[in-house]
A and B are shown apart, each in its own frame.
Chain A
Amino acid sequence: MYKLHLIIKYLRKRRIAWWSLLAVTLCTTMVLVVISVMGGWLTMFEHSFQGLTGDIVVECKDDSLVGFPYYQEMIDKMLARPGIEAAVPTIHTFGIINIGNIATAGVQVMGLPIDQIGKVNRFPDSLYLQHTSYIDRAKEAKDPAEKQKLLEEAQQHAEHPTFQLPLSPQRYREAMNWSPGKGTDPARRPGMIVGSAVVGIHRDPTGQTVGREPLMYEVPVKLTTIAIRPGESTVDLKDKSESVYWIADDSHTGLWQYDNAFVYVPFDQLQNDLLMTASSYTDAVTGRQVEEPARTSDIHVRVKPGFDLQAAKEQVQQVVNGVMNEHLRTGGRFWLSPQVETWREKQRVWIDAISNEKLLTVILFSIISVVAIFLVFCIFYMIVMEKTKDIGIIKSVGATSTGVAGIFLGYGLAIGLVGSLLGLLCSYLIVHYINELHAELGKLFGIQIWNPEVYLFDKIPNTMSWRDIGIIVPIAVVSSVLGALLPAIRAARMHPVESLRWE
């Protein structure tokens, strides 16, 4: 009873120990914030990349701009396999866009069958007009029924995304001063989805989204691409293609390298522009008719929930190898066989780099936190010296040496518990409001610590993991007890008479 009583008294009255409490609090806060941001960064990275690709990707790495053939046959055979839920082809190339003769930029172009892409990834959730705008309006809606309706519409659009143009045909005609007889009807041009940062949509230092101007939907976008023919080592400028689009929507994935560099166009349109559709020609040497199969750059595959990813990958690999070998055997042209990777393998370099950076940062901050142990040790040593007479008194009234040690170990434990819980609270507040704090820093000082171009995301990760808390908080408590250990042993060993005589 006396131990608990004295621990509580000392905790309240010995203000010098509050410094060790502060040390434990600050170190817990520091390590938790770092782990949460770095860990959150890794999680966001994994989540975002997984959201933009299938669980498994089939891709011809060595000849990626040429692509590979027989993709529909592969898809049909994959879907017959037990572990495969969906498979969708996409085309990937590079191009130049000219936005209304105002801006020109080099971009990565992705051709995707937008009505199917949602089966393999979360790309439709990134669309502003067709999804996010409904979510934003639902957040602001005060009427629950209206909120519900908007959320349902957001869901519906995400399930059925399109390249449909957002404005009326008349608006497009007026934008181009078109009238019948003056060439192709501009209202019939296809839609393009642009990465939000490609057209200047971004978060300013205060955290507000800016740059989404209504005018961008009325400005034509000319996309220039160049086809790479299979088996050819040079590029023929005659294979250049220029297509004009209207902006149908913008995509904000949260992943800077996508939002800043990608534009998305209909799969068929891009396949046509890149001369990747099925065709036939007469061989100049043999005079025979040669059939060129349609090609694609990738196939994104969604694995059935609960099915082992590696097992699914093996199934996909068997299909791909089987189809390629079958066509080779039947006299088809030699094609480099595409590779099959899981999404994690595809992003291995990035994921490993971020994981290592997280580990290194955590180790460094943990080493700094060892300073807290020494601070607790120094302060407790001082307290034990100060309390020498009290130790003599307690022993004279019958406390054992173990009991006296228990007072100071318990005191260390109390410091650790209170400090780590305060640290948990502080870190929660910092992490939860980190983007707001960052915005305030931007407002007050004009500085932007979190640069999306460097860290890939425009928002700082702001969630904490229970697993991290479950590791760091006990470590903080144990560290505090460790810091108090030697002083407690010293207190236990004090001779009661010498302690009573201490000046």
Chain B
Amino acid sequence: MSQAVRQPELLAVEKDRPILRAQAIKRTFRMGQEVTVVLKHVDLTLRKGEFVAIEGRSGSGKSTLLHILGTLDEADSGTIEFNGQDLSRLTGGERSQIRNTQFGFVFQFYHLLPELNVTENTLLAPMIEYSWLGFRKRQHQLKERAKEILSELGLEHRLRHKVTVLSGGERQRVAIARALMNSPQILFADEPTGNLDAETGRQIMGVLEKLHREQGQTIVLVTHDRSLARQADRVLVLRDGKLEKPGESNNAESPATLNYR
């Protein structure tokens, strides 16, 4: 709640600050002799508090781009800076730490751990962050935060339930709760409604919108659904391995440049 009160002031001060800057990102995949260039030359600047949607056809490389931005994958060339820090120079452990404390992920297929219940799945990031002793010291506070987030997402009656008994929409909300647990600077959402029916998908998008509007959460959404993409502040299209603004013709020679509203 305090974060929501603070947010308008922050936006005013930090709106111009780039939080993530990707330059000349290239990614290819090799299958034996065959080489597929998925990302040819991608530039992207993300500002704090933005809600950016990356739209594209299936197989256009949207998820690949999202994974690279979120340090789940590495580009063949190019640079990514997060808060001024070059991520390509970091070790695997340092990138893992950034994913744990600064980023949150929401995937199309939820990707929850089936042996854990709703609360335990939500607490996964702090369980990774802290040692056994560190977690035990903060346990009460962390569980309270998890409970608060889950309640805000309408899951207060499901705290001890196994995730396997939840509906798709409920599971996606647990995934969102997990992603928010460590107060990430960027929330990466990869086709979050792709496995849900239309109504549930709208509900999930409503959750993301609310997070952005009320708490100023920076969100990068990847989707093939144009109508969903339009709910973001800014929409980019990934076509032929490059990012473009919607309606811009495909120009393989020039890199995409981006304006923000």
On A, residues with C-beta under 8 Å from B are 1-2, 4-6, 9-10, 13, 389-390, 392-403, 495-497, 500
B107 within 8 A of A: yes
> Are A399 and B111 closer than 8 Å at their CB atoms?
no
> Are A1 and B135 closer than 8 Å at their CB atoms?
yes
26 A-B contact pairs sorted by A residue (CB < 8 Å): A1-B127, A1-B128, A1-B132, A1-B134, A5-B120, A5-B127, A6-B115, A9-B115, A9-B116, A389-B111, A390-B113, A390-B114, A394-B113, A394-B124, A395-B99, A396-B70, A397-B100, A397-B124, A397-B178, A398-B129, A399-B96, A399-B100, A402-B93, A403-B128, A495-B73, A497-B72
Report the separation of the CA atoms of residues A214 and B127 in the bound assembly, to the nearest whole angstrom: 77
> Are A397 and B105 closer than 8 Å at their CB atoms?
yes
Q: Which residues of B contact A497 (CB under 8 A)?
A: 67, 72-73
Q: With A1-B135, A2-B128, A497-B72 known to touch, is A396 a contact of B116 (CB < 8 Å)?
A: no
Q: Which residues of A contact B97 (CB under 8 A)?
A: 398
Closest 4 CB pairs of A and B: A398-B100, A2-B127, A1-B135, A9-B115
CB distance from A405 to the nearest CB of B (A): 12
Q: What number of B residues sit within 8 Å (CB to CB) of A?
A: 33
> Are A1 and B125 closer than 8 Å at their CB atoms?
no
Q: Which residues of B contact A2 (CB under 8 A)?
A: 124, 127-128
Report the separation of the CA atoms of residues A5 and B115 in the bound assembly, to the nearest whole angstrom: 10
Q: Which residues of A contact B96 (CB under 8 A)?
A: 395, 398-400, 403
- Closest B residue, CB atoms, query A402: B93
CB distance from B114 to the nearest CB of A (A): 8
CB distance from B125 to the nearest CB of A (A): 5
> Are A392 and B111 closer than 8 Å at their CB atoms?
yes
Q: Which of B92, B107, B116, B131 touches A1 (beta carbons < 8 Å)? A: B131
Report the separation of the CA atoms of residues A4 and B111 in the bound assembly, to the nearest whole angstrom: 20
Binary contact track B173-196/A, C-beta < 8 Å → 1, others 0: 000001000000000000000000
Report the separation of the CA atoms of residues A5 and B132 in the bound assembly, to the nearest whole angstrom: 9
Report the separation of the CA atoms of residues A395 and B70 in the bound assembly, to the nearest whole angstrom: 12
CB distance from A11 to the nearest CB of B (A): 10
> Are A396 and B127 closer than 8 Å at their CB atoms?
no
Binary contact track B66-105/A, C-beta < 8 Å → 1, others 0: 0100101100000000000000000011001111110001
> Are A396 and B72 closer than 8 Å at their CB atoms?
yes
- Closest B residue, CB atoms, query A5: B127
Binary contact track B148-184/A, C-beta < 8 Å → 1, others 0: 0000000000000000000000000000001000000
Report the separation of the CA atoms of residues A137 and B72 in the bound assembly, to the nearest whole angstrom: 78
> Are B99 and A397 closer than 8 Å at their CB atoms?
yes
Q: Which residues of B contact A389 (CB under 8 A)?
A: 111
CB distance from B80 to the nearest CB of A (A): 16
- Closest B residue, CB atoms, query A392: B111
Report the separation of the CA atoms of residues A395 and B115 in the bound assembly, to the nearest whole angstrom: 16
Q: Which residues of A contact B134 (CB under 8 A)?
A: 1
CB distance from A96 to the nearest CB of B (A): 78
Report the separation of the CA atoms of residues A395 and B116 in the bound assembly, to the nearest whole angstrom: 16
- Closest A residue, CB atoms, query B108: A500
Q: Which of B98, B112, B128, B130 touches A399 (beta carbons < 8 Å)? A: B128
Report the separation of the CA atoms of residues A10 and B116 in the bound assembly, to the nearest whole angstrom: 10
CB distance from A474 to the nearest CB of B (A): 24
> Are B99 and A393 closer than 8 Å at their CB atoms?
no
Q: Which residues of A contact B70 (CB under 8 A)?
A: 396
Report the separation of the CA atoms of residues A2 and B113 in the bound assembly, to the nearest whole angstrom: 12
Report the separation of the CA atoms of residues A385 and B179 in the bound assembly, to the nearest whole angstrom: 25
Q: Which residues of B contact A500 (CB under 8 A)?
A: 72, 107, 111
Q: Which of A13, A399, A401, A402 touches B115 (beta carbons < 8 Å)? A: A13
- Closest A residue, CB atoms, query B111: A393
Q: Which residues of A contact B72 (CB under 8 A)?
A: 395-396, 496-497, 500
Q: Which of B93, B98, B99, B101 touches A396 (beta carbons < 8 Å)? A: B99
Q: With A390-B113, A497-B73 known to touch, is A398 a contact of B92 (CB < 8 Å)?
A: no
